[in-house]
């Protein structure tokens, strides 16, 4: 990878079906772009369970952030949102400072909380616990952690706020939240088992806002709610 370049930039298809509006309930107002970025690679992650754990970035993350910055400048970002985790916040701060952007740290953008599993090697997690999770990916609550429904709920609430603001923006977060937001931008209901974008990549999505849409049906956001 050339120095100063982000690993991948993906331009989505326009999210034409994001809102399903019934007669008289909403009028299309404007379209805007959202850059969905996953933090660069972290240290000591191989074979390890981590979500809420505050992992440190690998050396060279600044060059990846600078590649992301070029994408965010190109789409006219007005604001950048970030998970509180150090691996996201450092990246967002570097970009915000360089571009003069508003930066908002939002706890809803945290990765899934694996509770007592945090920091364990996957091979050390009891097989019975892994099987219980596999049987109920949405509802299984990690010991002293959260479950998939909680992740879905907070990401849905965050995305709703982004849609209401209607401003071109960037979001620096984790694989779990990005699975959900990419689906929301397409008007789909996300699977928690969907493939996460690679670390250090940016997906540019087109979104649309509506006026007078208090009763509009935002597909994929009605279901309550994986570094």
Residue 227 lies inside a defined structural domain of this protein: no
What's the domain count of the chain?
A: 1
Residue 3 lies inside a defined structural domain of this protein: no
Residue 36 lies inside a defined structural domain of this protein: yes
pLDDT in tens, 177-187: 999 999 999 88
Q: Over pLDDT 70: what percentage of the chain?
A: 78
Q: Give the pLDDT score at 15.
A: 34
pTM: 0.81
Q: Over pLDDT 90: what percentage of the chain?
A: 73
pLDDT in tens, 53-82: 999 999 999 999 999 999 999 999 999 999
Residue 190 lies inside a defined structural domain of this protein: yes
Residue 224 lies inside a defined structural domain of this protein: no
* CB-based burial label for 128 (10 Å; 0-12, 13-18, 19+): exposed
Residue 206 lies inside a defined structural domain of this protein: yes
Residue 34 lies inside a defined structural domain of this protein: yes
- Which residue segment(s) compose the domain that 167 sits in? 8-218
* Spatial contact of 182 and 190, defined as CB atoms under 8 Å apart: yes
pLDDT in tens, 155-180: 999 999 999 999 999 999 999 999 99
* Spatial contact of 151 and 222, defined as CB atoms under 8 Å apart: no
Residue 74 lies inside a defined structural domain of this protein: yes
Nearest-angstrom CA–CA distance, 93 and 18: 30
Here the CATH number for the domain that contains residue 173 is 3.40.50.1240
Please give the mean pLDDT across all residues of the chain.
Answer: 83
pLDDT in tens, 3-32: 334 444 444 433 332 222 233 334 445 789
* Spatial contact of 90 and 37, defined as CB atoms under 8 Å apart: no
Task: Say how many residues make up the chain.
Answer: 227
């Amino acid at each position: 990878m050339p120095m100063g370049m982000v690993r991948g930039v993906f331009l989505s298809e326009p999210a034409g079906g994001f809102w399903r509006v019934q007669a008289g309930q909403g009028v299309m107002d404007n379209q805007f772009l959202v850059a969905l970025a996953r933090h660069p690679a972290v240290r000591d992650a191989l074979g390890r369970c981590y979500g809420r754990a505050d992992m440190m970035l690998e050396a060279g993350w600044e060059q990846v952030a600078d590649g992301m910055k070029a994408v965010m400048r190109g789409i006219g970002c007005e604001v950048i949102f970030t998970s509180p985790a150090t691996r996201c916040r450092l990246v967002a701060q570097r970009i915000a400072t360089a571009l003069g952007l508003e930066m908002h740290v939002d706890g809803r953008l945290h990765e899934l909380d694996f509770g007592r599993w945090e920091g364990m090697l996957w091979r050390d997690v009891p097989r019975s616990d892994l099987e219980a999770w596999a049987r109920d990916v949405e509802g299984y609550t990690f010991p002293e952690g959260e479950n998939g429904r909680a992740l879905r709920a907070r990401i849905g609430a965050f995305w709703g706020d982004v849609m209401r603001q209607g401003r071109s923006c960037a979001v620096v977060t984790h694989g779990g939240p990005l699975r959900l937001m990419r689906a929301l931008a397409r008007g789909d209901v996300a699977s928690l088992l969907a493939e996460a974008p690679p670390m250090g990549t940016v997906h540019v999505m087109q979104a649309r806002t509506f006026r007078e849409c208090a009763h509009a049906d935002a597909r994929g956001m009605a279901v309550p709610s994986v570094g």
